[in-house]
C-alpha cells in the first residue's frame, strides 16, 4: 500500500473522524468540502476531536482497557505523551479546501463521506473524475448504498469500493470493506492495508451486500425486538434482560436502539410499504417509535430514549 496523500470528501460526523484518525496515524490528509459554510461547520468538529483525542489518550494512563483505535498493548506514560503530541500535530496538519483541483490533483486515496443522496454522490464523482490522476483509489463510506451504483461515474471502477466505518472510530474500530463485481482485488487489498494502518480491524466482505455484515444482522434483530414491544408482548426492559441473560451480551436491543437513535430506527421502518397500515407490524413499530420521538425521547444523545441517561 503506497497511499500517502489521503483526501476525505465531506466533513460530517464520520468524515471528520476518518480524516482525524488518518492524520493521527501519519497520513497527509486533506478534507474537501462543498462550500465555505461547510468549512465553517467542520472546523469546530475538528477542534472538538482534538480535545477528545488528547483527553482520551491522557485517560489511558490510568486505564487497563484502551480505545482499540489507539492501542491494544500497555503503553508507558511517555509513549502516551508522545501520542498526545501526535494528536495535536494531526489537527494542525489537516488541510481544508473547497477546490477540486487542490484536493484531488495528486490524491492517492479518496474516502467519500458526503450526503446519502445518490444525485449528490453522482455529481461529486463525475466532477472529481476530471481532476483525479489515474493512480487514485476511491472508497465510499456510504452506509446504505452499494458501490456498484456509482462505480461507472468514478472513471476507474476497478479502483472503487466501499470502506465503512462506525461512529467514534478511535473506539469502535471496525472497517467493513466491500467491493463491487468490478473491483480489482489488488486495490481491495490496498484498502485493507490502509484500514490496518489507521488501526482499524478490517472486516472483509467477498461480495456486495446491502447493509454490509453488521446491519444485515442488526436490522432483523432490532425489528424483532421492536415487534415484541409494539405488540405489547413484553416491555423493553424485560426484552433487554432476556437477551442479556440468554446470550451474555452487555446490552439488549432497546439499549442498542437508544445508541442508534430512535429517529434512524423510525426512518428504516417507514421505508417499508406496509408501515402505512397502522395494524401491520411495521405500522405498530412506527407508531411506538413516533410516540417516543414526539416526546423528544430520541435516544442517548437526547438524554432519554427507552431509558433515561441523565
CB 171 within 8 A of CB 67: yes
Tell me how far, at minimum, the Cβ of 109 lies from a second copy, in Å: 23
232: nearest Cα among 154, 288, 278: 288
71 binds a second copy, rule: CB under 8 A:
no
* Helices 236-247 & 214-230 angle (0-180, nearest 10): 130
CB 175 to a second copy: min, Å: 10
Contact between 181 and a second copy by CB under 8 A: the answer reads no
**CA 68 to CA 74: how far, in whole Å?**
12
Q: How far is the CB of 1 from a second copy (least distance, A)?
A: 20
Sign of CA dihedral 246, 209, 21, 91: negative
Residues 150-179, interacting with a second copy (CB under 8 A): 166, 172-174, 176
Q: Does 140 bind a second copy (CB under 8 A)?
A: no
| Residue 108 binds a second copy (CB under 8 A) | no
Q: How far is the CB of 245 from a second copy (least distance, A)?
A: 5
Whole-angstrom distance, CA of residue 106 vs CA of residue 99: 13
| Residue 201 interacts with a second copy (CB under 8 A): yes or no | yes
From candidates 131, 227, 270, 307, binder to a second copy by CB under 8 A: 227
Residue 249 backbone phi and psi in degrees, to 5: -70, 150
Residue 183 within binding range of a second copy, rule CB under 8 A = no
Q: Are strands 28-32 and 137-140 parallel, antiparallel or unpaired?
A: unpaired
Binding residues (CB under 8 A) for a second copy: these are 166, 172-174, 176, 201, 203-207, 209, 213-214, 216-221, 223-225, 227-228, 231-234, 238-239, 241-243, 245-251, 253, 256
Amino acid at each position: 500500500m503506497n497511499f500517502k496523500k489521503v483526501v476525505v470528501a465531506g466533513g460530517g460526523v464520520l468524515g471528520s473522524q476518518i480524516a482525524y484518525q488518518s492524520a493521527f496515524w501519519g497520513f497527509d490528509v486533506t478534507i474537501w468540502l462543498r462550500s465555505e459554510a461547510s468549512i465553517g461547520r467542520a472546523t469546530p468538529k475538528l477542534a472538538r476531536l482534538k480535545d477528545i483525542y488528547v483527553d482520551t489518550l491522557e485517560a489511558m494512563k490510568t486505564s487497563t482497557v484502551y480505545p482499540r483505535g489507539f492501542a491494544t498493548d500497555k503503553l508507558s506514560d511517555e509513549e502516551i505523551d508522545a501520542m498526545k503530541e501526535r494528536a495535536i500535530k494531526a489537527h494542525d496538519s489537516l488541510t481544508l479546501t473547497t477546490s477540486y483541483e487542490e484536493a484531488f490533483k495528486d490524491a492517492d486515496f479518496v474516502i467519500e463521506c458526503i450526503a446519502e443522496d445518490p444525485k449528490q454522490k453522482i455529481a461529486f464523482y463525475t466532477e472529481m473524475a476530471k481532476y483525479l490522476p489515474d493512480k487514485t483509489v476511491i472508497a465510499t463510506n456510504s452506509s446504505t448504498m452499494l458501490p456498484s451504483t456509482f462505480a461507472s461515474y468514478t472513471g476507474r471502477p476497478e479502483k472503487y469500493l466501499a470502506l465503512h466505518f462506525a461512529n467514534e472510530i478511535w473506539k469502535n474500530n471496525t472497517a467493513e470493506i466491500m467491493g463491487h463485481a468490478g473491483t480489482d482485488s489488488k486495490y481491495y487489498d490496498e484498502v485493507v492495508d490502509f484500514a490496518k494502518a489507521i488501526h482499524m480491524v478490517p472486516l472483509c466482505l467477498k461480495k456486495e451486500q446491502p447493509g454490509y455484515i453488521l446491519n444485515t444482522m442488526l436490522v432483523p434483530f432490532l425489528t424483532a425486538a421492536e415487534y415484541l414491544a409494539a405488540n405489547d408482548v413484553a416491555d423493553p426492559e424485560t426484552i433487554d434482560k432476556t437477551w442479556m441473560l440468554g446470550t451474555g451480551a452487555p446490552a439488549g436491543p432497546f439499549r442498542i436502539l437508544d445508541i442508534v437513535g430512535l429517529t434512524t430506527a423510525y426512518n428504516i421502518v417507514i421505508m417499508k410499504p406496509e408501515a402505512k397500515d397502522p395494524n401491520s407490524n411495521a405500522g405498530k413499530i412506527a407508531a411506538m417509535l413516533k410516540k417516543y420521538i414526539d416526546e423528544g425521547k430520541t435516544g442517548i444523545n437526547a438524554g432519554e430514549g427507552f431509558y433515561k441517561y441523565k
